[in-house]
Structure 1
Amino acid sequence: MKSTSRRLTAVSVGIAAVLALTAGVAPAAAAPGGPHASPPVLTPATCTSLVGLEIAEKAIDLPTRGAVVETATWDATGSYCAVTGWIRAVSAPQDMQFQVNLPAAWNGRTLQFGGGGFDGSLVTATGNYTAQPAGTPTALTQGWVTLGSDGGHQGAPGFDGTFQLDEELFLNYGQWSVKKAHDAAAAVIDAAYGVDATWSYFIGGSQGGHEALDAAARYPKDYDGIVANYPAYNVTMMHVGAVNFRDALLLEGGAGHLNAAETATITGAVYAACDGLDGAVDGIVSDVQGCGEAFDVQTLACPAGTDPATVDTCLSEVEIDAALKITTDYDLGIDIEGNSIFARSALFEGALYQGFAGFGSGPLAQGLQFQVFAATMRYGVAGDPPGFDPYTVDPLDYADRVQEVGEIMDVTDVSLNRFRAHGGKVILTHGTIDDFITPHNTVQYWESLQDEFGKRLDSFAKFYMVPGWGHGQGRFVAQYDGLGAIVDWVENGVAPSDLVAGDGTAGADRTRPMCEYPAWPEYSGTGSVDDASSFTCVTG
């Protein structure tokens, strides 16, 4: 067995010590009570005076060499101060960039925005949070301090994994950047307003959803509420486990590859069999479990005498085998943070696998799943060795290092118990047709929370599965008031109920109830199928 375990030679602590340090972080809790009765007022002069502000190492409760404010620009139109700065690395080749936006009249709350993908570019946090309803006021315009970062490094667009070769940058991405940005922003807030935040929140999707769960699990006393949409909480398993996609599409020398037309043949048959199971033929499969019973991929087998290579309206035997492999839970054979199972794809439940999340133009251009597998295997796991071949590499040959990478990136088995004890609240969502992070991945996480907390789980966490929602896109692009819901729960003790999502698809004008998992929305038989009030959440 090969192992490319690389020690954190440049940083003063090893991975084991770092994880112990992270687990023991216990910063001062947020002040009790509601938002500031008399909002602190920030002036343009105070804003510009922040340029050059030095933030001491001790103000950031993780390894750094302190931080400095580079720019502080007053936005007269928005009445806020946009502050950018750099958190100095201990020994990494890059510092970490952050931005914190300070409204003229602050309501005492902070909202941290998550990133996406491999991060690598600054999240300015001036616009909408993930899944925010279009046309509603941003948190910044409502008087919130908002903040974001580059996730701990700067990288090329797409999935540039070269940063994973440096363990400090890797740890930034995996778990540290959340805390470093929070602490740097807290120092800026203190310098600008002279008071600390009363309430602190985090919202993100995908990698930003992972960062939201990092915020809650690893830094529980820094945050009061989080919203994690379609979270990449187990990044290592998602990336390395995607070897199942590679091997499926490469069956029999690549004969298993599914092109866009063949994939559309599958999904077209899925919707024909399953769209009406919820009582409404509306392009959305809501009864996912019923769909599993109603759809049979074998019905798409090419008739005898048909050459599958010449048609896209039916599937060869090997293409069916590839589709079945993708839609079956895959045991990676490596325990990563307490789990070895790469959850099955939702291809047979309505996931579209077109566009950015498709399977590529051929077996040697396999699309998004293969891109993340190849990047993390090459850089984070194998260490970019000469002759590395992502088409043949076997993760089992690097099992020890895969487990180490899981300790860096994944939050799979980091308990939310301290967050719960602190009074923190969690809203968790996923879409049923996510074709990048399968919804079954988040179901795995939710079931692990059920195992840990039992009946206590409902007191601090809610999970919503949204039919038709993909990875930020799909047939129903969910938008909902996650910020209002989490604030009402945290500050007023009012748990979310009767949440409604609107469809952000261009030209769409429809709503659906957000049902707590495992419930799903069933059409009542009367009223508009575009109106949430016409649907009832059911579990049958």
Structure 2
Amino acid sequence: MTETERPGRRASRYLPAAIVGTVIGFAASPASATTSCSQLASSFHRPNTTITTAQSVPAGTFVTPTTPPQSITGLPDFCRVAGFTTPTSDSHIGFEVWIPETGWNSKYLQVGCGGFCGAISYQQMADPLQRGYAVAATDDGHQASVVDASWAAGHPEKLIDFGYRALKETTDVSKAIIKAFKSAGARRSYFMGCSDGGREALMEAQRFPRDFDGIVAGAPANNWTNLFTGFLWNERALSATKAGDLSQADVDLVSNAVLAQCAGRDGGLSTDKFLNNPLACKFKLEKLSCRATNSATCLAPDKIEAIQKIFSGPPRIFPGYGPGGEANVAVNWPLWILGPGNPALSLQGLFGNSYFQNMVFPNSGWNPNTFSIEENLRQARIRTGAILNSVDPNLQPFAQSGGKLIQYTGWADTAISPQSDIDYFKAVNEAMGGPRRTSEFYRLFMVPGMAHCGGGPGANAFGQGGATGPNPSDPESDILSALDRWVEFGRAPEKIIATKYRNDDRTQGVAFQRPLCPFPKMAKYEGRGASTTDASSFECSRDEGDHDGHHGRDERADNR
């Protein structure tokens, strides 16, 4: 700890004066256990809670109780507690808590889920445990495929469990279990999630503002009703094309044209395979239009129209996707928007249709063409908005309790438009009295070239969801460590160094690094012969361009 670092406002509440100056680290001495791990199965009691497993797991490899099983390697010895809670007669909220047997850092981390959840996020629990955290996760109250919401039809209590109650149940039971196993409870509590986990993260800050000292919200699906209505918009736009589905060649053509026009003119490098700042790219899609049918160098008018609708998004409902980040088969449009020959089979199509069929219009025979886009949104808000959306910009209770919030998203995210993050960030700034006040507890980081939660051609590893940089304990290059330092010592992150590994494989070494900057600052290459692979060659600076962006849209997304 440097002389300028001091404990944050919550330090006096949790930290004995004798150890206020202790460095962050992850090797704090554990408290003495009051109950053995196996005894928790019989000794732990909480209303509406059943412990099904309490076992000491030796260091090494843990095989998950899933079908098929997964092997998670490199774990320390830990106490594994699994169970479920039943806050209502139609609830069955599964949870797991992993507590280090030795080397506990006296901190608790709860991880979020993804999609419609339906399973414990075992892989997400591994990295925090390796760092010394006690960690917990929940299945959000049901067992199902991540794209399947059929469990919600006719089960309004399960919908509430998924929306927010499973989060609170897991928080409370996990903290109680940790306290039962150790001589004291966790000194710090954190939440970290991406996608639906990002929605959950913002739900925690808004609905349960005193439960966590720090929160990391990645690519949040927090404007759920509007986001999923946007999925329908994209599906309809593609279904209306006359010349056939958009092909890989079509999106390659668009992507290459975007890069040719904008790469290197937005603060990045001309050799980048991604946009450094998509808001600076004023791409003219109509220049790729053919008069009639496709060719190798142009697109038929109906395909141009469909792409433009996806770029723009449904007016006044949700921002669009583009330009930039269209072509990658594994993480971009082919996976999320186009689908294998049918947009209804894309991830957006699967999620959107299952949501409206099972949560908004259960057992009604609904299909994507039953109602107008506007009516679908209206009913979604009436029936599920108060349960699923976490769009309240008033974070005053969270800020007053000393909480810190870091939000991030990839500029090449084609699951959830990155402009949605900017819209929420701006709304919070307005509600909280402006950027100066907001920056004291909340910062947003936009990640050039990163897809949804990770992946993509940009520098995409900075400690999010286990995607660690070369030094996970370094707050300068790890988002969880940066959050921990902000909470402990009041030192807000001014930048976070993100890493691109060769072939996204950490064992193959570093390809390049880039700084992530707190929005609205952007990283810009300084040139003058500086290294193109070293983060120090880029500086965070304010771009005076249009930060409302929306890629040509005149309307702001409606976040109500």
**How is 1:471-510 mapped onto 2 (pairs within 5 angstroms)?**
471=452, 472-476=454-458, 478-480=460-462, 481-504=478-501, 505-506=504-505, 507=508, 509-510=511-512
Distance 1:88-1:287 versus aligned 2 partners, 3 A rule: closer
User: Please, which of 335, 340, 343 is the counterpart of residue 319 of structure 2?
Assistant: 343
Distance 1:146-1:364 versus aligned 2 partners, 3 A rule: closer
User: Which letter does structure 1 place at the counterpart of 2:455?
Assistant: Q
Distance 1:245-1:476 versus aligned 2 partners, 3 A rule: same
Q: Which residue does 2:402 correspond to in 1?
A: 423
User: Please, which of 72, 93, 101 is the counterpart of residue 104 of structure 1?
Assistant: 101
TM-score normalized with structure 1 length: 0.83
What is the distance in 2 between the residues matched to 1:279 and 1:397?
42
Matched, 1:259 2:247: yes
1:362 shift after superposition: 3.4
Q: Which residue does 1:116 correspond to in 2?
A: 114
1:256 shift after superposition: 7.2
What is the distance in 2 between the residues matched to 1:30 and 1:530?
42
1:436 shift after superposition: 0.6
User: Please, which of 381, 389, 405 is the counterpart of residue 367 of structure 2?
Assistant: 389
Q: Secondary structure at the match of 1:530?
A: coil
1:327 shift after superposition: 1.3
1:441 shift after superposition: 0.9
1:204 shift after superposition: 0.9
Q: Which residue does 1:5 correspond to in 2?
A: none
Q: Which residue does 2:5 correspond to in 1?
A: none
Distance 1:47-1:498 versus aligned 2 partners, 3 A rule: same
Q: Which residue does 1:185 correspond to in 2?
A: 174
Note if contact 2:235-2:344 (Cα within 8 Å) is conserved in structure 1.
Answer: no
Cα offsets for 1:232-275 (capped at 9, x unmatched): 111221112322202211225x5474222211211111112112
Cα offsets for 1:281-300 (capped at 9, x unmatched): 221211323212xx211121
Distance 1:264-1:465 versus aligned 2 partners, 3 A rule: same
User: Which letter does structure 2 place at the counterpart of 1:359?
Assistant: L
Q: Which residue does 1:527 correspond to in 2?
A: 530
User: Please, which of 531, 539, 545 is the counterpart of residue 536 of structure 1?
Assistant: 539
Q: Which residue does 2:513 correspond to in 1?
A: 511
Note if contact 1:432-1:467 (Cα within 8 Å) is conserved in structure 2.
Answer: yes
What is the distance in 2 between the residues matched to 1:312 and 1:299?
14
What is the distance in 2 between the residues matched to 1:268 and 1:450?
36
Note if contact 2:230-2:313 (Cα within 8 Å) is conserved in structure 1.
Answer: no
**How is 1:8-407 mapped onto 2 (pairs within 5 angstroms)?**
31-33=13-15, 39-42=30-33, 46-57=36-47, 66-77=48-59, 78-92=76-90, 95-105=92-102, 106-124=104-122, 127-128=125-126, 138-251=127-240, 254-255=242-243, 257-277=245-265, 278-280=267-269, 281-292=271-282, 295-302=283-290, 304=291, 307-308=293-294, 311=295, 313-331=297-315, 341-346=317-322, 348-352=323-327, 353-363=332-342, 365-385=344-364, 387-397=365-375, 399-407=378-386
What is the distance in 2 between the residues matched to 1:29 and 1:246?
50
Note if contact 1:433-1:470 (Cα within 8 Å) is conserved in structure 2.
Answer: yes
User: Which letter does structure 2 place at the counterpart of 1:183?
Assistant: D
What is the distance in 2 between the residues matched to 1:475 and 1:419?
35
What is the distance in 2 between the residues matched to 1:498 and 1:473?
20
What is the distance in 2 between the residues matched to 1:503 and 1:458?
27
Cα offsets for 1:459-496 (capped at 9, x unmatched): 10111111101112211252221111011111111111
Cα offsets for 1:129-164 (capped at 9, x unmatched): xxxxxxxxx332332111111122111243344325
What is the distance in 2 between the residues matched to 1:364 and 1:141?
40
What is the distance in 2 between the residues matched to 1:29 and 1:406?
36
1:312 shift after superposition: 5.4
1:40 shift after superposition: 1.0
1:527 shift after superposition: 2.2
Note if contact 2:243-2:293 (Cα within 8 Å) is conserved in structure 1.
Answer: no
Q: Secondary structure at the match of 2:141?
A: coil
Could you tell which deviates more after superposition, 205-214 or 506-515? 506-515
Note if contact 1:351-1:470 (Cα within 8 Å) is conserved in structure 2.
Answer: no
User: Which letter does structure 2 place at the counterpart of 1:32?
Assistant: Y
Superposition CA RMSD, Å: 2.5
Distance 1:330-1:167 versus aligned 2 partners, 3 A rule: same
User: Which letter does structure 2 place at the counterpart of 1:373?
Assistant: G
Note if contact 1:118-1:160 (Cα within 8 Å) is conserved in structure 2.
Answer: yes
Note if contact 1:360-1:367 (Cα within 8 Å) is conserved in structure 2.
Answer: yes
Distance 1:159-1:275 versus aligned 2 partners, 3 A rule: farther
Q: Secondary structure at the match of 2:320?
A: coil
User: Which letter does structure 2 place at the counterpart of 1:113?
Assistant: V
Q: Which residue does 1:61 correspond to in 2?
A: none
Unpaired runs of 5+ residues, structure 2, are 1-9, 21-27, 60-75, 463-477, 544-560
Q: Secondary structure at the match of 1:488?
A: helix
Q: Secondary structure at the match of 2:215?
A: strand
User: Which letter does structure 1 place at the counterpart of 2:319?
Assistant: A
Note if contact 2:147-2:350 (Cα within 8 Å) is conserved in structure 1.
Answer: no
What is the distance in 1 between the residues matched to 2:344 and 2:360?
21
Could you tell which deviates more after superposition, 80-89 or 274-283? 274-283
Note if contact 1:30-1:222 (Cα within 8 Å) is conserved in structure 2.
Answer: no
What is the percent sequence identity of the aligned residues? 31
What is the distance in 2 between the residues matched to 1:354 and 1:240?
17
What is the distance in 1 between the residues matched to 2:29 and 2:79?
19
The number of residues matched between the two structures is 477
What is the distance in 1 between the residues matched to 2:343 and 2:371?
14
Structure 1 ranges of 4+ moved more than 6 A: 34-37
Q: Which residue does 1:459 correspond to in 2?
A: 440
Note if contact 2:252-2:326 (Cα within 8 Å) is conserved in structure 1.
Answer: no
Q: Secondary structure at the match of 1:176?
A: helix
Q: Secondary structure at the match of 1:423?
A: coil
Q: Secondary structure at the match of 1:242?
A: helix
Distance 1:364-1:419 versus aligned 2 partners, 3 A rule: closer
1:406 shift after superposition: 0.9
Distance 1:313-1:54 versus aligned 2 partners, 3 A rule: farther
1:56 shift after superposition: 2.5
What is the distance in 2 between the residues matched to 1:532 and 1:371?
39
Q: Secondary structure at the match of 1:153?
A: coil
Q: Secondary structure at the match of 1:140?
A: helix
Q: Secondary structure at the match of 1:369?
A: helix
Note if contact 2:229-2:352 (Cα within 8 Å) is conserved in structure 1.
Answer: yes
1:344 shift after superposition: 1.4
Note if contact 1:111-1:139 (Cα within 8 Å) is conserved in structure 2.
Answer: yes
Note if contact 1:30-1:199 (Cα within 8 Å) is conserved in structure 2.
Answer: no
Q: Secondary structure at the match of 2:439?
A: helix
Q: Secondary structure at the match of 1:183?
A: helix
1:383 shift after superposition: 1.3
Note if contact 2:201-2:217 (Cα within 8 Å) is conserved in structure 1.
Answer: yes
Q: Secondary structure at the match of 2:203?
A: helix
1:121 shift after superposition: 0.4
